[in-house]
Each structure stands twice: as structure tokens, then as C-alpha cells.
Amino acid sequence: MMKMIEDRQKGVDDLLADAEDAKSQIAKMEEEKQTQKAQLDQLIADKTNQARDSAKAETDRIISEAQSKAREIISSAEQRSKREHDQAVADSKKEIAALAISAAQTVVGSNMDNDKNRALIDSILNEQGEQNGS
């Protein structure tokens, strides 16, 4: 009978040892799980920060490129506007000179040398423009 009790006691002790081993393994697995979760959380945070930084850099690049293109468009428009203004002024001077020559020919009634008269009138218009600040 003692043998039987001893065998039963050994069986209970073995079961308790197995249970203790299982408990220890569960604790170890739980610790590994927590470590893996912390590593995964850090990886997610790193990837999120990297994506945010990348998106900000791309946004900054796009904004800078758009600003540069806008400056080019504005500069081109200003240059075109100045050319058109200068051309309009030149055309107006030519038209005024032609009208003045025509009026002078009508008044004087003689055929005037158009090239010399145009040069004279252009000179007068330029002088007037400089005096008026144009």
C-alpha cells in the first residue's frame, strides 16, 4: 500500500512539476509577446513618422515648384505687358508723327521729305516724353 501511495504521490508531484513548467512557459511566452508588441509598436511609430516626413517633404517640394512656376508666369506676364506697352507707345508715336506730317503737308501744301520729318517729329516726341516722365 505504501508503494501505491508513493506512486500516487510521485504522480501528483510530476503533475505539479508539469503544471509549474507550463506556468513558467506561459509567463515566458507572455513576456516575449509583450516584447514583440513593444517592438511592433515602435516599428509602427517609426514607419508613421517616416511616412509623415516623406509626405511633408513632398508637399514642400510641390509648393516650392508651384511658387517657382508662379514667379515665372508672373515675370513672363510682366515682360509681355511691358513689351506690349512699349509697342503701343511706339505705335502711337508713329501714328502721331504720321498725323503731324499729314497735317503739316496739308497746311504748307508742299511735299515734305517724310524721313527727315519723321526723325524731327520723333525727336520732339522723345523730348516731350522725357519732360513728362514717360
* Spans of all domains in the chain: 2-132
Closest CA to 98 of 111, 114, 116: 114
**Full-model pTM:** 0.50
Structure-block grid coordinates of residue 17: 512539476
Query: Do the beta carbons of residue 114 and residue 102 sit within 8 Å?
Result: no
* The pLDDT value given to residue 134: 53
Q: pLDDT tens digits for the chain (134 residues)?
A: 787 888 888 888 888 888 899 999 999 999 999 999 999 999 999 999 999 999 999 999 999 999 999 999 999 999 999 999 999 998 988 888 888 777 777 666 555 566 777 777 777 777 776 766 65
* The pLDDT value given to residue 77: 97
Query: Do the beta carbons of residue 89 and residue 134 sit within 8 Å?
Result: yes
* The pLDDT value given to residue 81: 97
